[in-house]
Protein backbone atom coordinates (compact mmCIF):
# COMPACT_ATOMS: atom_id res chain seq x y z
CA UNK A 1 0.00 0.00 0.00
CA UNK A 2 1.23 3.46 -0.88
CA UNK A 3 -0.33 6.48 0.70
CA UNK A 4 0.56 10.17 0.83
CA UNK A 5 -1.06 13.19 2.45
CA UNK A 6 -0.19 16.77 3.30
CA UNK A 7 -0.70 18.73 6.53
CA UNK A 8 -0.60 22.52 6.41
CA UNK A 9 1.50 23.93 9.24
CA UNK A 10 1.13 27.69 8.82
CA UNK A 11 -2.09 29.26 7.61
CA UNK A 12 -1.79 33.02 7.05
CA UNK A 13 -5.60 33.21 6.80
CA UNK A 14 -6.11 31.74 10.29
CA UNK A 15 -4.86 34.08 13.03
CA UNK A 16 -5.80 31.50 15.70
CA UNK A 17 -2.92 29.24 14.67
CA UNK A 18 0.51 30.38 15.84
CA UNK A 19 2.95 29.98 12.95
CA UNK A 20 5.95 27.71 13.35
CA UNK A 21 9.34 28.49 11.89
CA UNK A 22 10.98 25.93 9.63
CA UNK A 23 13.60 25.42 12.37
CA UNK A 24 10.95 24.68 15.03
CA UNK A 25 9.18 22.28 12.69
CA UNK A 26 12.46 20.54 11.84
CA UNK A 27 13.46 20.22 15.52
CA UNK A 28 10.01 18.73 16.25
CA UNK A 29 10.34 16.14 13.47
CA UNK A 30 13.82 15.20 14.72
CA UNK A 31 12.54 14.96 18.29
CA UNK A 32 9.89 12.49 17.10
CA UNK A 33 12.75 10.22 16.02
CA UNK A 34 14.94 10.90 19.06
CA UNK A 35 12.16 10.50 21.66
CA UNK A 36 9.21 8.64 20.12
CA UNK A 37 7.57 8.19 23.54
CA UNK A 38 6.30 11.78 23.21
CA UNK A 39 4.63 10.99 19.88
CA UNK A 40 3.76 7.31 19.37
CA UNK A 41 0.69 5.90 21.10
CA UNK A 42 1.10 2.41 22.51
CA UNK A 43 4.90 2.59 22.56
CA UNK A 44 6.21 1.10 25.82
CA UNK A 45 9.85 1.96 25.31
CA UNK A 46 12.66 2.33 22.79
CA UNK A 47 16.40 2.14 22.49
CA UNK A 48 18.74 3.88 20.07
CA UNK A 49 21.13 1.04 19.19
CA UNK A 50 23.32 2.92 16.73
CA UNK A 51 23.83 6.57 15.87
CA UNK A 52 25.49 8.01 12.77
CA UNK A 53 25.94 11.52 11.44
CA UNK A 54 22.49 11.70 9.85
CA UNK A 55 20.83 8.47 10.99
CA UNK A 56 19.65 6.41 13.94
CA UNK A 57 18.90 2.75 14.33
CA UNK A 58 16.32 1.99 16.99
CA UNK A 59 14.36 -0.80 18.61
CA UNK A 60 10.79 0.12 19.55
CA UNK A 61 8.84 -1.90 22.13
CA UNK A 62 5.09 -2.34 21.86
CA UNK A 63 4.35 -4.93 24.55
CA UNK A 64 6.05 -8.14 23.41
CA UNK A 65 6.49 -6.83 19.84
CA UNK A 66 9.92 -5.42 19.00
CA UNK A 67 10.29 -3.36 15.85
CA UNK A 68 13.64 -2.33 14.44
CA UNK A 69 13.94 0.71 12.24
CA UNK A 70 16.47 3.02 10.69
CA UNK A 71 15.81 6.76 10.69
CA UNK A 72 17.70 8.95 8.25
CA UNK A 73 17.78 12.75 8.24
CA UNK A 74 18.17 15.19 5.36
CA UNK A 75 18.68 18.29 7.53
CA UNK A 76 15.90 20.88 7.47
CA UNK A 77 14.11 18.89 4.75
CA UNK A 78 13.19 15.27 5.43
CA UNK A 79 13.08 12.49 8.03
CA UNK A 80 12.76 8.93 6.64
CA UNK A 81 11.89 5.81 8.60
CA UNK A 82 12.60 2.31 7.27
CA UNK A 83 10.88 -0.29 9.45
CA UNK A 84 11.92 -3.94 9.27
CA UNK A 85 9.29 -6.68 9.03
CA UNK A 86 8.65 -8.40 12.39
CA UNK A 87 6.09 -11.09 13.17
CA UNK A 88 2.81 -10.07 11.53
CA UNK A 89 4.07 -6.53 10.91
CA UNK A 90 5.27 -6.01 7.34
CA UNK A 91 8.26 -3.90 6.34
CA UNK A 92 7.28 -0.28 5.81
CA UNK A 93 8.66 3.17 5.08
CA UNK A 94 7.58 6.64 6.11
CA UNK A 95 9.03 9.90 4.78
CA UNK A 96 8.14 13.22 6.39
CA UNK A 97 9.12 16.05 4.06
CA UNK A 98 8.92 19.77 4.81
CA UNK A 99 7.52 21.69 1.87
CA UNK A 100 7.54 25.48 1.59
CA UNK A 101 5.89 26.59 -1.66
CA UNK A 102 6.13 30.25 -0.53
CA UNK A 103 8.15 31.85 2.25
CA UNK A 104 6.59 30.99 5.60
CA UNK A 105 3.94 28.67 4.13
CA UNK A 106 4.99 25.37 5.60
CA UNK A 107 3.53 21.94 4.97
CA UNK A 108 4.61 18.43 5.88
CA UNK A 109 4.08 15.67 3.33
CA UNK A 110 3.74 12.20 4.83
CA UNK A 111 4.55 9.38 2.39
CA UNK A 112 3.87 5.81 3.52
CA UNK A 113 4.64 2.53 1.85
CA UNK A 114 3.78 -0.80 3.44
CA UNK A 115 5.18 -3.92 1.87
CA UNK A 116 3.07 -7.03 2.46
CA UNK A 117 4.99 -9.92 4.02
CA UNK A 118 3.80 -12.05 1.11
CA UNK A 119 3.95 -9.86 -1.98
CA UNK A 120 1.37 -12.09 -3.69
CA UNK A 121 -1.12 -11.02 -1.03
CA UNK A 122 -2.68 -7.63 -1.62
CA UNK A 123 -4.18 -5.71 1.28
CA UNK A 124 -7.92 -5.71 1.24
CA UNK A 125 -9.71 -2.40 0.82
CA UNK A 126 -11.07 -2.36 4.38
CA UNK A 127 -7.61 -2.69 5.91
CA UNK A 128 -6.14 -0.11 3.54
CA UNK A 129 -8.87 2.40 4.38
CA UNK A 130 -8.44 1.79 8.11
CA UNK A 131 -4.64 2.12 7.88
CA UNK A 132 -4.85 5.37 5.90
CA UNK A 133 -7.18 6.93 8.49
CA UNK A 134 -4.93 5.76 11.35
CA UNK A 135 -1.90 7.29 9.61
CA UNK A 136 -3.69 10.63 9.16
CA UNK A 137 -4.76 10.73 12.82
CA UNK A 138 -1.24 9.86 14.01
CA UNK A 139 0.25 12.56 11.79
CA UNK A 140 -2.23 15.17 13.03
CA UNK A 141 -1.23 14.18 16.58
CA UNK A 142 2.46 14.55 15.64
CA UNK A 143 1.92 18.11 14.41
CA UNK A 144 -0.22 18.93 17.48
CA UNK A 145 2.56 17.68 19.76
CA UNK A 146 5.13 19.74 17.86
CA UNK A 147 2.89 22.82 18.28
CA UNK A 148 2.55 22.21 22.05
CA UNK A 149 6.33 21.80 22.37
CA UNK A 150 6.92 25.01 20.40
CA UNK A 151 4.44 26.92 22.59
CA UNK A 152 6.35 25.78 25.68
CA UNK A 153 9.66 26.91 24.10
CA UNK A 154 10.94 23.31 24.04
CA UNK A 155 11.86 23.68 20.33
CA UNK A 156 13.57 27.06 20.51
CATH number where 80 lies: 3.30.530.20
pLDDT confidence of residue 120: 38
Give the residue numbers spanning the domain of 107. Answer: 2-151
CA distance 33 to 39: 9
The pLDDT mean for the chain works out to 90
pLDDT confidence of residue 146: 96
Residue 45 included in any domain: yes
pLDDT digits (tens, 9 = 90+) for 37-51: 999 989 999 999 999
pLDDT digits (tens, 9 = 90+) for 48-104: 999 999 999 999 999 999 999 999 999 999 999 999 998 878 899 999 999 999 888
Region 14-41: what's the mean pLDDT? Answer: 93
Residue 106 included in any domain: yes
Residue 121 included in any domain: yes
pLDDT confidence of residue 119: 46
pLDDT confidence of residue 103: 86
CA distance 77 to 26: 7
Residue 156 included in any domain: no
Overall domain count for the chain: 1
pLDDT confidence of residue 139: 95
Residue 22 included in any domain: yes
Amino acid sequence: MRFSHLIQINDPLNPLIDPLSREQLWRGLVLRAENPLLFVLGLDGFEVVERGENELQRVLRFGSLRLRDRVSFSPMRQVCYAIEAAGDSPAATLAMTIEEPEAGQLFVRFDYETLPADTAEAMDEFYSSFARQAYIEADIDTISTIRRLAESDALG
